[in-house]
Structure 1
Amino acid sequence: MKKHLYFIPGTSASSKIFERIKLPKHLFEIHLLDWIQPLHKNESIASYTTRLSTFVKEPNPIFVGVSFGGIIAQELTKHFKGSKVVLVSSIKHQDEVTPFLKFVRKTKLYKIYPVSFINLTEKIMYRFATKKLKRTLDSYRYYLSLRNKTYTQWAIQSFVTWKQNQPINTLHLHGTKDFVLPVKNIKNVTLINGGTHAMILTKSTTIQHKIINYLA
């Protein structure tokens, strides 16, 4: 019987980031979960994942979440008995973030994140960019396609304020060169040598092998 894997991308990213993940089709069936629009910037994760869970149609699902998608994956398991989680470049507990993010949480600086200004800056940069920089920005736009104000504010606030009292038992893959969520702050991980926060794109072969070995 096939195992059904539901892949959840990171903040603002589309499911295109999983294009390079190839799993044996006779063993696994891949389902891609794209972000849905939050009802408003203060929608709770519980409410959001309840709505997102309606897109999961198979029993005993296995959720594979990248970065903030890993948090959503862990919350989705509350809706499905017998489900499992694989985390990539993510966290299992609120204390696994950097001291700066803890400061942002405590001071509530996430409430003043300048979404509109950052999007405008990107447009200006693209207009005057070199060909090399334009290629980088094009790649950024290809993979990080969801950047409207309500979603971005909701995602940042939800990530920073997320709490989990007891870390779950999971396969947690984390890169040794992840500077967004440094591995020194994280416990019980399987290290991917040279992996960055974007290793789902750059270390896809290694990641898929780790997933196959874990689930098989």
Structure 2
Amino acid sequence: MKNIYFIPGMAANCGIFEHIKLNDSKFKMHFVEWLEPSKNEPLQGYCKRLSEQIVSENPILVGVSFGGIIAQEIAKIIPTEKVIIISSVKDPSEFPIRINWAKKWKLYRFFPTSYFNLFEHLTKKLVSSKKIQQRIDMYQKYLSVRSVNYLDWAFKNVILWENKNPVSNVYHLHGTKDHIFPHKRIKNAHFLENGTHVMVLVNARWINKKLEEILEK
């Protein structure tokens, strides 16, 4: 039986994988939980600590968004059979231009992560739109890792990621309507037409099918 370890996106909990269903006679699913980073902790050091949750030999890693970056870094630390990234990037060349500008000008230092919860709270109180209320409810359910220290650290490490010595066993699932990592800059991926950055939640049937195909290779 193959062991599959799932890593959620930035600020997300493992509930985002609730619709992922694999053949349990072939695959055992495990979930990696975010740790609180120490101040100025290097990405590699953080990934080393996170990898301690992975106790199986030669596992398969599945990471969403920032979790996909983390999965690739963990695969440089421990042997892995495969790395599957969803709604993520394989190297900085796939970043949108705005992230490259943020890196050049070190704009991550000014991102107001401390206002994240306050903005959400006020929006829910003041906006009557049912659709927006539902979206905020979804964010509250799945985006529960919200310490200012963690968010500041994560934003900085996404923007500064360079992916030196990239791993070769990476498979990529991506949506053509991803607003975080636009698909026009993404290379060598399986694309879901009209899939968005949250397709792991709303297009789980397609994700499940593609995961099974990749896992059987």
TM-score, normalisation: structure 1: 0.95
* TM superposition shift of 1:185: 0.6
Letter in 2 for 1:44: P
Secondary structure (helix, strand or coil) at the match of 2:75 reads helix
State how 1:173-188 maps to structure 2 within 5 Å. 173-188=173-188
Task: Tell me how far apart the structure 1 counterparts of residues 125 and 184 of structure 2 sit (CA, whole Å).
Answer: 39
Q: 8 Å contact 1:178–1:195 — kept in the other structure?
A: yes
Would you say 1:128 and 2:126 are equivalent positions?
Answer: yes
* TM superposition shift of 1:194: 1.4
Task: Tell me how far apart the structure 2 counterparts of residues 139 and 200 of structure 1 sit (CA, whole Å).
Answer: 13
Task: Tell me how far apart the structure 2 counterparts of residues 104 and 82 of structure 1 sit (CA, whole Å).
Answer: 32
* TM superposition shift of 1:179: 1.6
Aligned residues: 214
Q: 8 Å contact 2:11–2:146 — kept in the other structure?
A: yes
Task: Tell me how far apart the structure 2 counterparts of residues 135 and 189 of structure 1 sit (CA, whole Å).
Answer: 31
Secondary structure (helix, strand or coil) at the match of 2:5 reads strand
Letter in 2 for 1:143: Y
For structure 2, which runs of at least 5 residues remain unmatched after alignment? none
Would you say 1:119 and 2:117 are equivalent positions?
Answer: yes
Secondary structure (helix, strand or coil) at the match of 1:79 reads coil
For structure 1, which runs of at least 5 residues remain unmatched after alignment? none
* TM superposition shift of 1:120: 1.4
The residue that corresponds to 1:208 in the other structure is 208
* TM superposition shift of 1:119: 2.2
Q: CA RMSD in A?
A: 1.3
Secondary structure (helix, strand or coil) at the match of 1:53 reads helix
Secondary structure (helix, strand or coil) at the match of 2:85 reads strand
- Kindly provide the CA deviation profile for residues 139-172 of structure 1, in whole angstroms up to 9, marking residues without a partner as x: 1100101111000000000101011145433210
Secondary structure (helix, strand or coil) at the match of 2:146 reads coil
TM superposition outliers: structure 1 runs of 4+ over 4 Å: none
Q: 8 Å contact 2:81–2:169 — kept in the other structure?
A: no
- Kindly provide the CA deviation profile for residues 99-121 of structure 1, in whole angstroms up to 9, marking residues without a partner as x: 11100011000011111223212
* TM superposition shift of 1:203: 1.0
Secondary structure (helix, strand or coil) at the match of 1:178 reads coil
TM-score, normalisation: structure 2: 0.95
State how 1:15-30 maps to structure 2 within 5 Å. 15-30=14-29
The residue that corresponds to 2:31 in the other structure is 32
Task: Tell me how far apart the structure 2 counterparts of residues 200 and 152 of structure 1 sit (CA, whole Å).
Answer: 21
Letter in 1 for 2:119: T
State how 1:1-216 maps to structure 2 within 5 Å. 2-40=1-39, 42-130=40-128, 132=130, 133-167=132-166, 168-216=168-216
* TM superposition shift of 1:215: 1.3
Q: 8 Å contact 2:94–2:185 — kept in the other structure?
A: yes
Letter in 2 for 1:174: H
Letter in 1 for 2:57: P
More off after superposition, 18-27 vs 202-211? 202-211
Task: Tell me how far apart the structure 1 counterparts of residues 7 and 115 of structure 2 sit (CA, whole Å).
Answer: 27
* TM superposition shift of 1:11: 0.4
